[in-house]
Amino acid sequence: MNHVLTSRFYKYFVQVLLFTGLTLTGVKHSATPVAVSAPSHIVFIEDSFDEALKQGRLQNKYIFVDAYATWCGPCKMLKARTFADSKAAEFYNKTFVNVSIDMEKGQGPQLARQWQLTAYPTLIIFDPKGKPVLGSVGYIGASDLIKFGQQALKK
């Protein structure tokens, strides 16, 4: 008889532990909200001006082009500092279709000739139809990049 009571007790005890553990686990997971945060960097379409134009037309947004070369030091600084700035990222991700193009591969050399680029980085903003609105050559900081974008939107 003592063995039966002990066996029932353990069975009950295990059930209570399992139930409590599952309940606490469930409460813990359901009580923890899943935060969806905005990217802390500018999100670019890579090496496809055609796709950026398509998206610009569909979303009726201006297109921001980062024309770079892999060997270019100021281009690397733009990516590491300016494009990684949370305020610049928030403004550009919300306002523009962003495209980053390696001007020495794929579509890049043809676009470099068409746009008559002679130095990198070159930043260009196009209207949704693909007409250039404003350009800048060389490294610029995040606050100047935001001003550059705001200036293009006024044109």
Strand order across the 122-126 sheet: 45-46, 96-102, 62-68, 122-126, 132-137
Q: Which of 42, 75, 125, 140 is catalytic?
A: 75
3-state secondary structure the chain: CHHHHHHHHHHHHHHHHHHHHHHHHHHHHHHCCCCCCCCCCCCCEECCHHHHHHHHHHHCCEEEEEEECCCCHHHHHHHHHHCCCHHHHHHHHHHEEEEEEECCCCCHHHHHHHHCCCCCCEEEEECCCCCEEEEEECCCCHHHHHHHHHHHHCC
Catalytic-residue membership of 151: no
Q: Which of 41, 54, 61, 72 is catalytic?
A: 72
Residue 144 to residue 150: CA distance in whole angstroms = 10
Catalytic-residue membership of 14: no
By annotation, the residues acting in catalysis are 72, 75
